[in-house]
Amino acid sequence: MQRMRALRKTSPDKAEIQQVPVPEPAADQVLLQVSAAALCGTDLHIYRWNAWARGAGIQLPRIMGHECCGEVVAVGENVFGLAIGDKVAVETHLPCGQCLQCRIGEQHICNNLKLFSIHTDGCFAEYTTVPEICARKIPQEISSRVGAIMEPLGTALRSVLESKVAGATVLVTGCGPIGLFAVASASTLGASRILASDVSAPRLEIAGRMGAHRILDPGREDPVEAVLAETGGYGADVVIEASGSITAIQQAFRCLRKGGRVALVGLPSMPLELEIGKAVVFKEAKIIGIHGRTMFDTWTRMENLLVSGKLDVLPAITHVLPLDRWQEGFDLALSGTACKVVFEP
């Protein structure tokens, strides 16, 4: 049996590279040779085995990593839409295909949703298997590094698409990978003015390079006052919340103009208080919850924008490392020094 190197979470306090068998694709799966895989906040939660990870239903040992690009090297007997040699990016929401949502075109929020690398082995390895439906064929001109970040990029792009930003003033709160991808997407989709907030100076600097006209650090200035001052006292037309910070979420509604749209992408670790009358009802705020990408309208638009050269996300990739240096990548991400770290097996 052929073997491969894989980064496995083996116990609550340990992750390590191990030699494991190359997986066999099931009838509806493809086997990918991984060309690039990106590190995400979720991987850090699993690595630290925090409360979220403990409650996520992950069975150890588990191969980590879910954001990836690879080449199809084998197909299951029921796979007809992909062939050996195809380049693919992975959609990580694994739908059941049978429930109400799956049948009405909302399979990305399937009622029995499974997640790649949470409920299955992931892609920090030389090879990985994914169901055909989640292996999105991409053109060769999209690089493997960009292919590996299409999953988080798609989430950000969708939040911007659904918020209708053309000609609008957009505030993006949080400039991690998701927020930075939202800044770039808002710029591409015609936002007239983009304000971006973060408490990290290096991330704000990248936001400026990716299209933000005004960066603001809530540690140095009151973000609500700053946004009101920038918008003639009205507030932003659109807020994309990509920090998950409870304070930032509460402030997002105060930064929003009456009748504006808020896309909530960030995931707070605890319930939070919101004065619904003031924040939502009297303001007529339109709240848009975003969980991943639509399958496959978001993917199609994202691919078109990347191929046309209109969407450039490379500044968000701050580090590319061989998988053997995974510890360094995790440490960089945990220290907040890195933005998007990509591993090449």
Ligand X SMILES: NC(=O)c1ccc[n+]([C@@H]2O[C@H](COP(=O)([O-])OP(=O)(O)OC[C@H]3O[C@@H](n4cnc5c(N)ncnc54)[C@H](O)[C@@H]3O)[C@@H](O)[C@H]2O)c1
Task: Summarize as ranges the residues that interact with ligand X (CB under 6 A).
Answer: 40-41, 152, 155, 173-179, 197-200, 203, 218, 242-245, 247-248, 265-267, 290-292
Reading the block at residue 18, the tokens are: 């191990």
Q: How far is the CB of 177 from Zn ion (least distance, A)?
A: 8
- Closer CB to ligand X, residue 4 or residue 165? 165
- Closer CB to ligand X, residue 87 or residue 136? 136
Do residues 35 and 88 make contact, with C-beta atoms less than 8 angstroms apart? no
Q: Which residue is nearest to ligand X (CB)?
A: 176
* Residue 110 contact partner, candidates Zn ion, ligand X, none, CB within 5 to 8 A by sort of partner: Zn ion
SS3 304: helix
- Closer CB to ligand X, residue 130 or residue 206? 206
* Residue 129 contact partner, candidates ligand X, Zn ion, none, CB within 5 to 8 A by sort of partner: none
Cα separation, 253 vs 239, in Å, equals 8
Question: Whose structure tokens read 């924040």?
Answer: 279
Cα separation, 251 vs 61, in Å, equals 40
Residue 122: which of 130, 112, 131, 113 has the closest Cα?
130
265: number of Cβ within 10 Å: 26
SS3 137: strand
Q: How far is the CB of 298 from Zn ion (least distance, A)?
A: 15
Reading the block at residue 114, the tokens are: 């499974």
Cα separation, 165 vs 187, in Å, equals 9
- Which is catalytic among the residues 10, 42, 93, 231? 42
Residue 87: which of 25, 147, 39 has the closest Cα?
147
Which residue(s) pair with 17 in the sheet? 7
- Closer CB to Zn ion, residue 95 or residue 345? 95
Q: How far is the CB of 245 from ligand X (least distance, A)?
A: 3
* Residue 122 contact partner, candidates Zn ion, ligand X, none, CB within 5 to 8 A by sort of partner: none
Do residues 15 and 329 make contact, with C-beta atoms less than 8 angstroms apart? no
Q: Is 308 exposed, middle or buried (0-12, 13-18, 19+ CB in 10 A)?
A: exposed
* Residue 96 contact partner, candidates Zn ion, ligand X, none, CB within 5 to 8 A by sort of partner: Zn ion
Do residues 311 and 146 make contact, with C-beta atoms less than 8 angstroms apart? no
Question: Whose structure tokens read 């099931």?
Answer: 26
Q: How far is the CB of 86 from Zn ion (least distance, A)?
A: 22
* 261 CB-near residues (< 8 Å, 6+ apart): 163, 164, 237, 238, 239, 285, 286, 288
- Closer CB to ligand X, residue 10 or residue 247? 247
- Which is catalytic among the residues 45, 119, 213, 319? 45
Cα separation, 6 vs 123, in Å, equals 8
**Known catalytic membership, residue 108:** no
**Known catalytic membership, residue 291:** no
* Residue 162 contact partner, candidates Zn ion, ligand X, none, CB within 5 to 8 A by sort of partner: none
Cα separation, 138 vs 287, in Å, equals 32
Q: How far is the CB of 241 from Zn ion (least distance, A)?
A: 17
Q: How far is the CB of 266 from ligand X (least distance, A)?
A: 4
* Residue 272 contact partner, candidates ligand X, Zn ion, none, CB within 5 to 8 A by sort of partner: none
- Closer CB to Zn ion, residue 102 or residue 182? 102
Q: How far is the CB of 90 from ligand X (least distance, A)?
A: 14
Point out which residues bind Zn ion (CB under 5 A).
40, 95-96, 99, 102, 110
- Closer CB to ligand X, residue 120 or residue 173? 173
Reading the block at residue 258, the tokens are: 């009456």
* Residue 102 contact partner, candidates Zn ion, ligand X, none, CB within 5 to 8 A by sort of partner: Zn ion
**Which positions are catalytic?**
42, 45
